[in-house]
Chains A and B, each alone.
Chain A
Amino acid sequence: MEILMSILAGTLFAAGVYLILQKQLLKIVLGTALLSHGAHLFILTMGKLNRGKPPILIEGIKDYTDPLPQALILTSIVISFGVTSFLLVLAYRTYQSNKTDMMDQLRGTDDE
C-alpha cells in the first residue's frame, strides 16, 4: 500500500512540476495545487498506513495508527487551500491589469 501511495504522490509531483513549467498563469496555479496534493499524500504515507488500529499511544501497545501525520495534513490542506484561492484571484487581477497571462510577457524593466 505504501508503495502504491508513493507512486501516486510521485505522479502528482511529476504532473505538478510539468504544469508549473508552462507559460500560462492558470496552468501554473493548477500545477501548484497538484504539487500540494502530492505533498499531502506523501505526509500520510510517511506515517505508515495502518488500517483499523486505534490512534493512541499507551505504554505496552505496539500496534497503533499514528495520528500525527493526519493532524499535519489537515493544517497543510487548509493552508494550501487558502493560498490557492488567493492565487487564483491574483492571477485573474494580474491578467486584467497586464492584459496577458503568459509568464514570458510578464517582465519588467529596471526603470519603474
Chain B
Amino acid sequence: MMSNLVFLPIFIPLFFGALLVFFNKKQKATVNISFLVVLLNFGVSIFLSYHVFSTGPLTLETGGWKAPYGIILVADKLSVIMILAVNVIALTAAIFALSSVTEKMIEHYFYPLFFLLIAGVSGAFLTGDLFNLFVFFEVLLMASYGLIIIGGSKHQFRESVKYILLNLFSSILFVTTVAFLYSVTGTVNMAQLGERVGQVEQQGILTGIGILLFIVFATKGALFPLYFWLPKSYIVPSPIVSALFGALLTKVGVYSMLRVFTLIFSHKLELTHTFFIWIATLTMIIGVIGALSTSNVKLIIAYNIMPAIGFMLLGIGTFSAESLAGTIYYLVHDMAIKAALFFLAGLLVWHAGTSNLKKMGGYIKTAPLMGWMFFIAALILAGIPPFSGFIGKYLLLRGAMDEGHYIAAGVGLLSSLLILFSVIRIFIGAFWGELKEEPKQSVRTSGLAASAVLIAISILLGVGAEWFYPYVQAAADSLIDPQIYIDYVLKE
C-alpha cells in the first residue's frame, strides 16, 4: 500500500493541472485551488522523504508487472531529495504568482501548464526506466513549450521556436539512443541496464552509446558547446516562467546524468568521466564570460546557470562519494538560489521598467529590501561562507583536488570570483548611486516574500549543513555503489 505513495507527487499535479483547465475564466478559484494543491503536494513530498529516509527506498510496479518487465517508479534517497526541492520551488513560485500572474496568463492556462511541468519534472526524478524518462522529459518539455509562449510577444515566438526545435532534436536523439541501448542489452529498465552493461562483450559500443546519451542530457542541461539556446530563450517569458525554467529544467538534465552515469555507464571512467571534467571546465569559463559580456539584468542571471551546471558536472566527473555529495548539495542549492535570483531580477525589471543595467541606478532608496536581498543572493550564488553555495563548492573542489584535477578546481575557484563580480555588478549598477529614473512601479510584496523564503532556505542549507549533510551523503553513498539500487529494484 505504501508503494502507491511514490505515484502521488506525479499524480496530484497531473490531476489538478488537468482539472484547472476548466477554471481558466475563474481567476480567484484557480489561484486558490492551485495554492492548496501546491501545499498538498509539498506535504506529500515531505512525508515521502521522511518515509524513504526512515525505512528505505520505495518502488511502485505499475499495473502489477514485476520489474524489469513493467514500468517502475523508484523513490530512492536521491529522488526524494529532488522531489522535495521541486516542491519547495513550486511552493515559492505559487507565492510569487499571487502578484505576478496576470488574468490574461491565467486565461491562457498558466496554472495547468505549471502543474504539468511539476508533474513531468517529478516523474523524471522518480522513474526507474530509461524510456519512461524520455516520456517524462516530453511531458515537462510540452508544458514548457506552452509556458514559454504565454504572452505571445514577437520575441517570445522568435526565441521559443529555437528552444523547441533544439529540444525536439535532442529528444529524437534520446529515443534513438534508447533504441541502441535496447538492441545491445535487451532492456530499458535502469536497474537491469546497470546489471547487464558489465556483461556486454563489446564495451566500445556501450561507451559510444554513453557519450550519445551525454550529448542528449548536455543539450537539456546547457553544457558547452550545446548551451547556445539557453540564455536568450530563458529571458523572453514572464519572470515566473524564467524562474521555473532556470530552477528546474536544466537540473533535470543534471539529475539524469547523475543517475545514468553512476548506475549504467560507470565501467569506463577514465574515458567518459575525464571527458566530463573538461566539458565542465569549459562550461564554467564560457558561462562566466557570457555573464560578464552583457548589461541585460535577466541575461546575466540566465548565463549564470551555466557555470553552476559546470560545477555539478565536475562532481559527476570526479566520481567519488564526496564529490557526488557535493553535486547533490549544489543541485539543491542552485535550484533555490536560481529561482530566487530570477524572481529578484524580474522584480527589479518591473521596478525599473527596463532590463538594461545602464539605465538603472539608485534603487536602494526606493526598494531597500529588494536591494539587500539581491546582495545576499549574490553572495550565496558565488559561494561565500557560511551560505549554502560554499558547502557545495567546498565538497566539489575538495573532491576534484583529491583526485588530482587541479586545473578544473582552479578554474572553478576563479569562475566563482567572476560569478560574484557579474552579479554584484547588478547590485552596484542598479542600487548604488543617484536615482536616475523614477521607478515605474512599486515592488510587489508577494514576489519579495517568495524570494525571501528561498534565500532563507539557502541560508539554512549553509548554516545548518551539519543537519542536512548526512542525508546528502547517504544519497551519494547509494549512488557510488549501484549494486544497492540494482538489488533493491530487481529484488534479488
- A:61-112 near B, CB below 8 Å: 68-69, 72, 75-76, 79-80, 82-83, 86-87, 90-91, 93-94, 97-98, 106-108, 110-112
Contact A32 B179 (CB under 8 A): no
Shortest beta-carbon distance from B312 to chain A in Å:
27
- In the assembly, what is the distance between CA of A83 and CA of B138, in Å? 9
CB nearest to B296 among chain A residues: A110
- In the assembly, what is the distance between CA of A80 and CA of B176, in Å? 13
Contact A75 B135 (CB under 8 A): yes
Kindly state whether residue B356 has any CB partner on chain A within 8 Å.
yes
Kindly state whether residue B299 has any CB partner on chain A within 8 Å.
yes
Shortest beta-carbon distance from B21 to chain A in Å:
16
Query: C-beta contact mask, A17-60 vs B, less than 8 Å → 1, else 0?
Result: 00010000100100010011001101100111000000000000
Give the chain A neighbours of B188 by CB distance below 8 A: 68, 72
Contact A36 B172 (CB under 8 A): yes
- In the assembly, what is the distance between CA of A54 and CA of B295, in Å? 64
Give the chain A neighbours of B154 by CB distance below 8 A: 97-98
Give the chain A neighbours of B182 by CB distance below 8 A: 43, 46-47, 68-69, 72
Contact B155 A32 (CB under 8 A): no
Shortest beta-carbon distance from B422 to chain A in Å:
14
Query: C-beta contact mask, B145-171 vs A, less than 8 Å → 1, else 0?
Result: 100010011110111111011001101
- In the assembly, what is the distance between CA of A32 and CA of B175, in Å? 13
Give the chain A neighbours of B176 by CB distance below 8 A: 39, 42-43
Give the chain B neighbours of A48 by CB distance below 8 A: 183
Contact A47 B157 (CB under 8 A): no
Contact B175 A43 (CB under 8 A): yes
Which residues of B approach A to under 8 Å, CB–CB?
A: 131, 134-135, 138, 142, 145, 149, 152-155, 157-162, 164-165, 168-169, 171-172, 175-176, 178-180, 182-183, 188, 232, 236, 294-296, 299, 355-356
Q: List 20 A-B contacts (CB under 8 A).
A: A28-B165, A32-B168, A32-B172, A36-B172, A46-B179, A46-B182, A72-B131, A72-B188, A79-B138, A86-B142, A86-B164, A87-B164, A97-B153, A97-B157, A106-B161, A108-B158, A108-B232, A110-B296, A111-B296, A111-B355
